[in-house]
Amino acid sequence: MTRLIMTGTAAAILAAAGVALYAGGSLRPQPDISQLVSAAIAADASPPIYFRDPDRKPLYSLTPKKTSDGRDYRAVHASEDVSFDEPDAAPDTRGDRKIRYYRNPMGLPDTSPAPKKDSMGMDYIPVYEGDDSDDGSIKLSPGKIQRSGVKSEPTELRRIRTLVRAPGTIQLDERRVSVVAMRAESFVQKVADVTTGSRVTKGQPLMDIYSSTVSSAAAEYLATITSKTTSAVESYGRGSRQRLVNLDVPEPVIAQMEKSHSVPITIPWSSPRDGIVLQRNAIEGMRAQAGDVLFRIADIAQVWATVDVAERDLGTIAVGQPVTVRARSYLGRDFKGLISVVYPQVNKETRTARVRIELANADLALLPDMYVDAEIDTGTPAPVLSVAESAVLDTGSRQAVLVDKGQGRFEPREVKLGRHGDGYVEVRDGLAVGDAIVTSANFLIDAESNLEAALKGFAEAGNPKDGDAAMGAKP
């Protein structure tokens, strides 16, 4: 006796026939069983379109395959394939509308004027008149929009805050450094209790000096101002006083000599400014030649931060921009300053340029050579039209966004971008204030809806062509 072996499809057909015999509770005329069997065998005779895991796990293969325990994947024929397309909420009203072209079922930028299959055997999807707009927009069903988590937000004017970060060090303000040096041969008679690192104030005594040149000039000046002379002699006296000034004798010392009418043996020399003693070379009893530096004093109430800015960021750096400096020694504390100089040279090894920032340092917390990190605000000074960075689809050669037109329709729009910052990007061309832009799931819309073909259609909207060529169809 011949055994009839049927697959799931054949069994399903015969089961359906058996149900039909007793539908409505009454026995109906029996169908021709041989015809049903032939139909079932014919249905299973078609080659499988793919293979799936026998335990119905979400595992698939285009070729025969086995599970890890040696069982064969189950063949799935065209009659058994499940469609994942959503059923239309309303009846199909396409009627006799003309098919304009066929698009790739996987959303690839490929269309055809005639029915065809892709490399996996899937049929190209027909696009009817009215389904594809001439403006290049994309239409998705409400279900797909909901499942994809599509979100839109309007464009608006906002200030793009862009920060350039650069490391650097604290340096002395060159304009606030003074040296104490003699302008004539002198001897250091006594040195005050001041050492390297000491903080001094303007007018504070540093040392006592004896100089025969200074003493001679002082005696000549006193002789002039104490004698009863004519106006010519008074003019000579003013010249004698200027000689003392040229020898850098402190003004308080000259005033004291004018009051006492006597020349001191040693002259006290004082600090010319508030600051920190960076260098002390004065030693008691030493002989100092003209020009020898005895003290170096720097005022650090205002300092410089010199930072190294990467070459790619130099175009956004300008004098006067605000800067926030953070010292690694003071966590959580910010120092505010302004860019004063951008040095006109790029380091060829590091490809960076040096930038000088002026900082107030009233409490003297910042010390020379201290490491700091600077944040330079290079953002737009005024609000500009902007969108979220997540809304931009960047293909490398062009940038585009999806404009939400409502009713499930999305229009790809090519844009020209500007500065980036704080998760937003400036839009210089292509959008207007208030345009609703897709900010979430835009890449899913891209994959679903053949964005490249839509962009091409949008670009050609201003120069329409006849036939399928106007829609980007391929032969």
Cβ pair 62, 119 in contact under 8 A: no
Catalogue all structural domains in the chain, each as residue range(s) with its CATH number: 8-76 (no CATH), 138-160+382-471 (2.40.420.20), 163-173+300-377 (2.40.30.170), 183-291 (2.40.50.100)
- Between 443 and 369, the higher pLDDT residue: 369
Question: Measured between alpha carbons, how far is residue 24 from residues 19, 27, 51 in Å?
Answer: 10, 8, 38
C-alpha 165: how far from chain center: 10
Cα–Cα distance between 130 and 440 in angstroms, integer? Answer: 27
Confidence tier at 6 by pLDDT (50, 70, 90): very low
Cα–Cα distance between 332 and 246 in angstroms, integer? Answer: 49
The DSSP string of 341-396 is EEEEEEETTTTEEEEEEEEE-TT----TT-EEEEEEE-S-SS-EEEEEGGG-EE-S
Cβ pair 325, 334 in contact under 8 A: yes
Confidence tier at 472 by pLDDT (50, 70, 90): very low
Percentage of residues of the chain with pLDDT beyond 90: 34
Say yes or no to pLDDT of 280 above 50.
yes
Residue 191: its pLDDT value, please?
A: 96
Which residue spans within 138-243 are E strands per DSSP?
138-139, 151-154, 156-158, 163-172, 177-181, 186-191, 199-200, 205-210
Cα–Cα distance between 417 and 455 in angstroms, integer? Answer: 17
Q: Which amino acid is at 36?
A: L
Mean pLDDT value across residues 112-134: 76
Chain segment 132-178, per-residue pLDDT in tens: 555 556 676 676 666 667 888 888 898 888 889 999 999 999 999 99
Cβ pair 299, 273 in contact under 8 A: yes
Question: Which of 437, 438, 419 has its CA nearest to residue 427?
Answer: 419
Q: Which two tokens stand for residue 191?
A: 């040195």
Say yes or no to pLDDT of 9 above 60.
no
Cβ pair 221, 188 in contact under 8 A: no
Cα–Cα distance between 391 and 401 in angstroms, integer? Answer: 6
Residue 114: its pLDDT value, please?
A: 86
pTM of the model: 0.56
Say yes or no to pLDDT of 92 above 60.
no
Question: CA dihedral defined by 202, 208, 214, 215, rounded to 10 degrees?
Answer: 130
Mean pLDDT value across residues 233-252: 81
Confidence tier at 54 by pLDDT (50, 70, 90): confident
Cβ pair 318, 339 in contact under 8 A: yes
Chain segment 426-456, per-residue pLDDT in tens: 898 888 888 888 888 766 666 555 555 555 5
Count of residues for the chain? Answer: 475
Question: Measured between alpha carbons, how far is residue 157 from residues 78, 151, 154, 385, 411 in Å?
Answer: 54, 19, 10, 4, 22
Confidence tier at 307 by pLDDT (50, 70, 90): very high
Cβ pair 85, 96 in contact under 8 A: no
Residue 11: its pLDDT value, please?
A: 47
Residue 399: its pLDDT value, please?
A: 84
Percentage of residues of the chain with pLDDT beyond 70: 72
Which residue spans within 53-192 are E strands per DSSP?
60-61, 74-76, 99-103, 111-112, 125-128, 138-139, 151-154, 156-158, 163-172, 177-181, 186-191
Q: Which two tokens stand for residue 378?
A: 């290079």
